[in-house]
């Protein structure tokens, strides 16, 4: 396969004729964390890897390789359990390794990945570049660099980093990044093709395989291909049973199919396994739409507890907190201030979109339109961003333009949001 041919394609139109086109796989953003590239846990479980590495470190506290393995395994534990205290443990192990060996590549790159998981993108960029300086031919260093650049809104540079990564090592991680980049520039068929390659490359890798199915399913959901989205979520559960991201993805598909009670059951399963804020918010919204206000309030209150735990373990949650609060009409002035801070720290299309939405909700609609235009500048096919633009035009009194934006959002995905798809249908008519 000619990997470069796969990566290049529809970029020029989206990036003003610049032919750089790969992309990053971000959580999640968090979006989900990138596929673990430095530690392969099969056939051992993550708990077994952690236990063995802990024993090795106890036996020899100066064993840099054991500290590296322990630090990376703690990150995988965080990924699988959602427990942010593993981030703190990972950082301690990897920094200890660096004190013993200042040019340790694995610890440097591992700290870069940790910074990404904590949404500390400038720190991640510096660490990724430091790792690249240690080893310019190690592909995963370019993944850390590119992921950070993309979240900082520096798309051309980020795509160049992914070009380098995929040229060195076409694998699950680089295919997934290709898929995300193609999605960012609005090339959905290209994104699907790349993510299918990621799924194929991840066969038999347990959680990694499940993660790729979830990413492909989310892509299908984003463009209204609901049956395919549900099928990918179920495939993820077969690859890695009881996988919380798969239950969350399945809940979204079931909601879109009109199976609200099934969606509540699936989302509750996700929350029971990993109570991430986005899962808890989705469950609360589902309860709210079915008139279960007391249950919804319980979920919304839980989000605050989870956010405090994340912050205590070094995770920046400004953007996610601002979006939740704006969506739910909570402390709108404070939410706008938080959205401004988040956009400065994370000047990506997502940062601009959340700020645009906060501005619209507080009546600053002219400024909101400027940030909405930036949020849409890559041609990303994101129904929620299109809806936000429709609300901004409506706020400005441009009803005909607003209806066009609402209809675009609904054509892309008629069930893009539990809270806002009904509003889009109402305002589009």
pLDDT tens-digit map of 161-175:
988 999 999 999 999
DSSP class of residue 33 equals P
User: Which pLDDT tens digit goes with each residue over 52-76?
Assistant: 999 999 999 999 999 999 999 999 9
User: What rounded mean pLDDT belongs to the chain?
Assistant: 90
Nearest alpha carbon to residue 122 among 99, 139, 143, 145 = 145
Nearest alpha carbon to residue 31 among 117, 114, 90 = 117
- 78: Cβ–Cβ under 8 A, 6 or more apart, which residues? 84, 86, 87, 90, 117
Q: Which two structure tokens, joined as six digits, stand for 357?
A: 């939405």
Q: What percent of the chain has pLDDT over 90?
A: 88
Distances, alpha carbon 73 to alpha carbons 29, 142, 187, 268, in Å: 21, 21, 35, 27
State the pLDDT confidence band at 44, using cuts at 50, 70 and 90: confident
The H or E element containing residue 158 is helix 155-168
pLDDT of residue 157: 96
Q: Which two structure tokens, joined as six digits, stand for 345?
A: 């720290």
CA 417 to CA 427: how far, in whole Å?
Answer: 15
Before 178, cis peptide (omega within 30)?
no
Helices (H) and strands (E) in the chain, counts: 24, 2
pLDDT of residue 163: 87
Q: What percent of the chain has pLDDT over 70?
A: 90
Averaged pLDDT for residues 363-375: 98
Q: How many residues are listed for the chain in this entry?
A: 429
Burial state string for 287-304 with b = 16 or more CB within 10 A and e = fewer than 16: bbbeeeeebbeebbebbe
Q: Are 398 and 392 in contact (CB under 8 A)?
A: no
The phi, psi pair for 41, rounded to 5°, reads: -95, -25
Which residue's entry shows tokens 């990564």?
165
CA 218 to CA 166: how far, in whole Å?
Answer: 23
User: Which pLDDT tens digit goes with each residue over 182-241?
Assistant: 999 999 999 999 999 999 999 999 999 999 999 999 999 999 999 999 999 999 999 999
- Helix axis angle for 121-134 and 139-151, nearest 10°, is 160
User: Which pLDDT tens digit goes with each residue over 77-125?
Assistant: 998 888 999 999 999 999 999 999 999 999 999 999 999 999 999 999 9
Averaged pLDDT for residues 257-264: 98
DSSP class of residue 187 equals -
pLDDT of residue 6: 34
Averaged pLDDT for residues 280-303: 97
User: Which pLDDT tens digit goes with each residue over 303-352?
Assistant: 999 999 999 999 999 999 999 999 999 999 999 999 999 999 999 999 99
Averaged pLDDT for residues 381-402: 98
Nearest alpha carbon to residue 101 among 130, 71, 67 = 67
Q: Which two structure tokens, joined as six digits, stand for 284?
A: 């609360």
pLDDT of residue 205: 92
Q: Per DSSP, which regions of 159-263 are E strands?
A: none
- Helix axis angle for 105-117 and 121-134, nearest 10°, is 160
Class of domain 321-428: mainly alpha
Nearest alpha carbon to residue 198 among 383, 380, 3 = 3
CA 396 to CA 274: how far, in whole Å?
Answer: 41
Averaged pLDDT for residues 39-62: 84
CA 43 to CA 63: how far, in whole Å?
Answer: 23
- Cα 313–Cα 316–Cα 322 angle in degrees, nearest 5: 135
User: Which pLDDT tens digit goes with each residue over 17-37?
Assistant: 223 333 332 233 333 334 444
What are the domain boundaries of the chain?
A: 321-428
CA 381 to CA 368: how far, in whole Å?
Answer: 19
pLDDT of residue 30: 34
What own/partner pairs with CB < 8 Å and gap ≥ 24 does 122-126 have? 122/148, 122/152, 122/345, 124/148, 125/149, 125/152
Considering only CA atoms, give the Rg of the chain: 21
pLDDT of residue 28: 33
Averaged pLDDT for residues 238-256: 97
CA 301 to CA 307: how far, in whole Å?
Answer: 10
Count CA atoms closer than 13 A to 103's CA, side-chain side.
4
pLDDT of residue 41: 41
Which residue's entry shows tokens 């441009």?
398
């Amino acid at each position: 396969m000619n990997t470069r041919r796969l990566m290049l394609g529809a970029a020029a139109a989206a990036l003003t004729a610049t032919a750089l086109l790969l992309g990053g796989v971000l959580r999640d953003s968090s979006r989900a964390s990138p596929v673990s590239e430095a530690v392969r846990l099969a056939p051992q479980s993550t708990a077994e890897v952690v236990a063995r590495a802990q024993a090795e470190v106890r036996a020899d506290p100066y064993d840099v390789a054991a500290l590296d393995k322990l630090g990376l395994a703690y990150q995988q534990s965080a990924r699988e359990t959602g427990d942010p205290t593993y981030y703190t443990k990972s950082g301690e192990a990897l920094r200890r390794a660096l004190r013993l060996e200042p040019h340790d590549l694995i610890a440097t790159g591992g700290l870069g990945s940790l910074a990404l998981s904590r949404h500390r993108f400038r720190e991640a960029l510096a660490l990724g570049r430091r790792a690249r300086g240690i080893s310019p031919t190690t592909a995963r260093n370019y993944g850390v660099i590119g992921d950070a650049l993309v979240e900082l809104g520096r798309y051309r540079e980020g795509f160049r980093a992914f070009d380098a990564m995929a040229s060195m090592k076409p694998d699950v991680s680089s295919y997934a990044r290709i898929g995300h980049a193609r999605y960012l520039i609005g090339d959905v068929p290209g994104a699907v093709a790349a993510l299918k390659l990621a799924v194929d490359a991840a066969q038999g890798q347990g959680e990694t395989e499940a993660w790729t199915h979830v990413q492909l399913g989310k892509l299908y959901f984003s463009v209204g291909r609901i049956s395919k989205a549900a099928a990918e979520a179920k495939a993820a559960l077969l690859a890695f049973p009881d996988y919380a991201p798969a239950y969350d993805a399945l809940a979204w598909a079931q909601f879109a199919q009109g199976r609200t009670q099934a969606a509540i059951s699936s989302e509750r399963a996700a929350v029971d396994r990993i109570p991430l804020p986005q899962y808890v918010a989705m469950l609360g919204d589902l309860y709210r739409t079915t008139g279960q206000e007391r249950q919804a309030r319980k979920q919304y209150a839980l989000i605050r507890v989870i956010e405090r735990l994340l912050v205590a373990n070094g995770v920046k949650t400004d953007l996610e907190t601002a979006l939740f609060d704006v969506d739910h009409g909570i402390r709108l002035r404070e939410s706008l201030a938080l959205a401004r801070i988040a956009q400065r720290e994370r000047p990506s299309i997502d940062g601009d979109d959340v700020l645009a939405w906060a501005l619209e909700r507080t009546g600053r609609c002219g400024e909101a339109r400027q940030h909405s235009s930036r949020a849409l500048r890559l041609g990303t096919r994101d129904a929620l961003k299109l809806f936000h633009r429709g609300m901004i035009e409506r706020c400005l009194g441009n009803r005909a333009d607003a209806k066009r934006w609402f209809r675009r959002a609904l054509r892309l995905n008629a069930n893009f949001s539990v809270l806002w798809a009904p509003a889009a249908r109402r305002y589009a008519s």
